[in-house]
């Protein structure tokens, strides 16, 4: 299986996730990389994974993805605040870190389709906890040869997230609210991918499915880039010395972002600890504590909805690694997860998890973190990033580890204005969503992002709703089959 085929297919035939056979070391030193732009770094990193893309193809994809859609030339600026380095991954068109991968995925996918002589129209099926959906539609809107259908939990996303999605333009974009939670949406999408009958019906009508979720390896690879870039930039600005180990803290849901950091380490970036931050859906924290992954628990709706997830799909790729790249062990655990909702790793595998630290932030701690960092520094965090900042503080207290730490800042506070403003001061709660936007701009001294200005007056273009069971029916209706 080539990289381009894996990107096209999304998920393997047996339902497993694609992983790289092996990970080479970076071909250049981090000092050399520190002189490069984001786009140049992206090429050096991505070519290690996407081995069947030509230089020309890959550079074409990169230059079309990381362009003026980002509101800063640096693409991912690093802000130092409260003793940590916030890697701002939210300067793309939908102001969440999903743009980092989803602005390039459509180019990777259409290039892959061309390389593999695909004639069918590609139907992107996506489940979203709020951010992926919008970022994927923004990426795929009006891309010839593709359609995109997004499922989101009707009552599980922020008002701004929902408005962003239902106002999406493009003749090939479809948005469906489901009466269920994110896991229901994700499970429903996975089922359709594995449905052989449905695949036949699609084929006959000239369609094939692919995925824009982080189960697609084409989502993961572009995310490795910014960890390499961040290290190189800290080196360039003299914040760290050559070879100095840094820690990385990531607010985690589906485990894609933190796994990308893990891959960056395998390429040679000196990373000490991977600090995995969860909200009250703390299934990963429990996993790191006990070695038992157990999704059988109440699903919590929190102020960091993009992390409201009980099945972290990409953990499968880490399990494979810590099982010594043993696909059979991995399969047994994933089957157990599918059947009983849990699995337990061996003592030996647990030993391979020592670079990871997991903890979580309660709703109250998350709000307190936003307020404290704002009051101390003037810097305003979104709710997801605040979960990470809070967990980082817990880690520091527990281990007295003073290593420099990069915190993945995954969303603009403008995307979660109400929760953010309420955390800063409850008196703001009487304001409307857009009054809050203006107030946030004023107190943070940050311009309202274009992504928010755009939806102030945009008309609602999508109003489909269905149950989780009816997802296949809805897809067929959309495709007219
Ligand atoms: C998707 C998302 C996350 C979780 O990232 P994963 O790769 O799924 O772990 C965290 N924060 C924000 C804002 C997100 O959109």
Q: 199: CA distance to ligand 1 center in Å?
A: 29
DSSP 229: H
Of the chain, the end-to-end C-alpha distance in Å amounts to 30
Q: Rounded to the nearest whole angstrom, what is the distance from the C-alpha of residue 306 to the centroid of ligand 1?
A: 5
**Residue with the two structure tokens 């998890």:** 353
Closest among 49, 91, 123 to 447, alpha carbons compared: 91
Please, are residues 382 and 411 in contact by the beta-carbon 8 Å criterion? Answer: yes
In ligand 1, the atom with minimum distance to the C-alpha of 90 is 13
Give the active site residue among 47, 98, 115, 273. Answer: 98
Ligand 1 centroid–CA 410 distance in Å is: 7
Which amino acid residue places its CA nearest to atom 2 of ligand 1?
306
Closest among 45, 43, 46 to 3, alpha carbons compared = 46
Q: Is 128 in the pocket of ligand 1 (CB under 6 A)?
A: no
Residues 6+ apart with CB under 8 A from 414: 95, 160, 437, 440, 441, 448, 449, 451, 452
Asked whether 225 and 251 are in contact (CB, 8 A), the reply is no
Residue whose tokens read 């307020």: 371
Cα 363 to Cα 131, 157, 248, 278, 429: the distances in Å are 20, 16, 22, 11, 17
Residues 6+ apart with CB under 8 A from 402: 396
Residue pair 45/225 in contact (Cβ under 8 Å)? The answer is yes
State if pTM tops 0.75.
Answer: yes
- As given in the structure block, the two tokens for residue 326 are 């043993």
Mutation choice for ligand 1 from 91, 213, 254, CB with most ligand atoms inside 8 A: 254
Expressed in angstroms and rounded, the spacing between residue 253 Cα and the centre of ligand 1 is 5
Cβ within 8 Å of residue 387, ≥6 positions away: 251, 277, 278, 279, 304, 307, 360, 361, 366, 369
* 251 close to ligand 1 (CB < 6 Angstrom): yes
Active site residue 190: no
How far apart are alpha carbons 14 and 12 in whole angstroms?
6
Centre of ligand 1 from the C-alpha of residue 197, in Å: 32
Work out which ligand 1 atom sits closest to the CA atom of 131: 15
- Atom number, ligand 1, closest to the C-alpha of residue 97: 15
Q: How does pLDDT run along the chain (481 residues), one tens digit per residue? A: 999 999 999 888 888 999 998 889 999 999 999 999 999 999 999 999 999 999 999 999 999 999 999 999 999 999 999 999 999 999 999 999 999 999 999 999 999 999 999 999 999 999 998 889 999 999 999 999 999 999 999 998 888 899 999 999 999 999 999 999 988 998 999 899 989 999 999 999 999 999 888 889 999 999 999 999 999 999 999 999 999 999 999 999 999 999 999 999 999 999 999 999 999 999 999 999 999 999 999 999 999 999 999 999 999 999 999 999 999 999 999 999 999 999 999 999 999 999 999 999 999 999 999 999 999 999 999 999 999 999 999 999 999 999 999 999 999 999 999 999 999 999 999 999 999 999 999 999 999 999 999 999 999 999 999 999 999 999 999 999 9
């Amino acid at each position: 299986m080539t990289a381009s085929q894996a990107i096209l297919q999304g998920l393997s035939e047996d339902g497993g996730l694609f992983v790289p056979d092996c990970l080479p070391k970076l071909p250049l030193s981090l000092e050399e990389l520190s002189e490069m732009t984001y786009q140049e770094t992206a090429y050096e990193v991505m070519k290690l994974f996407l081995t069947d893309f030509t230089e020309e193809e890959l550079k074409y994809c990169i230059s079309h993805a990381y362009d003026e859609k980002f509101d800063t030339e640096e693409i991912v600026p690093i802000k130092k605040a409260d003793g940590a380095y916030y890697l701002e991954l939210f300067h793309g068109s939908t102001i969440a870190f999903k743009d980092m991968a989803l602005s390039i995925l459509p180019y990777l996918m259409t290039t892959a389709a061309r390389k593999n002589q695909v004639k069918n129209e590609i139907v992107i099926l996506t489940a979203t906890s709020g951010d992926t959906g919008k970022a994927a539609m923004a990426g795929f809107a009006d891309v010839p040869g593709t359609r995109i259908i997004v499922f989101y939990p009707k009552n599980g996303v922020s008002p701004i997230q929902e408005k962003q999605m239902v106002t999406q333009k493009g003749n090939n974009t479809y948005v469906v609210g489901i009466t269920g939670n994110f896991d229901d949406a994700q499970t429903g999408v996975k089922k359709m991918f594995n449905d052989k009958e449905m695949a036949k019906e699609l084929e006959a009508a000239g369609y094939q499915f692919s995925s824009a979720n982080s189960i697609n390896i084409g989502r993961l690879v572009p995310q490795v880039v910014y960890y390499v870039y961040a290290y190189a930039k800290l080196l360039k600005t003299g914040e760290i010395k050559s070879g100095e180990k840094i820690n990385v803290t990531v607010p985690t849901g589906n485990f894609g972002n933190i796994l990308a950091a893990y891959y960056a380490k395998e390429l040679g970036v000196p990373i000490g600890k991977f600090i995995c931050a969860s909200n009250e859906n703390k299934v990963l924290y429990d996993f790191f504590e006990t070695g038992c992954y157990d999704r059988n628990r109440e699903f919590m709706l929190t102020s960091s909805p993009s992390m409201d997830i009980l099945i972290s799909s990409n953990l499968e790729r880490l399990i494979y690694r810590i099982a010594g790249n043993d696909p059979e062990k991995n399969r047994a655990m994933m089957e157990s997860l599918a059947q009983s909702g849990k699995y337990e790793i061996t003592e030996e595998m647990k030993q391979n998890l020592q670079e990871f630290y997991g903890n979580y932030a309660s709703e109250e701690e998350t709000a307190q973190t936003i307020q404290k960092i704002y009051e101390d520094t003037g810097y305003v965090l979104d709710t997801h990033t605040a979960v990470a900042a809070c967990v980082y503080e817990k880690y520091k207290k527990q281990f007295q580890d003073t290593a420099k730490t990069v915190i993945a800042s995954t969303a603009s506070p403008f995307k979660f204005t109400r929760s953010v403003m309420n955390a800063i001061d409850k008196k703001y709660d009487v304001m409307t969503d857009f009054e809050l936007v203006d107030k946030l701009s004023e107190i943070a001294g940050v311009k309202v992002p274009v992504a928010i200005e755009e939806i102030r007056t945009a008309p609602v273009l999508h109003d489909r709703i269905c149950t989780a069971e009816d997802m296949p029916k809805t897809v067929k209706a959309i495709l007219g089959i």
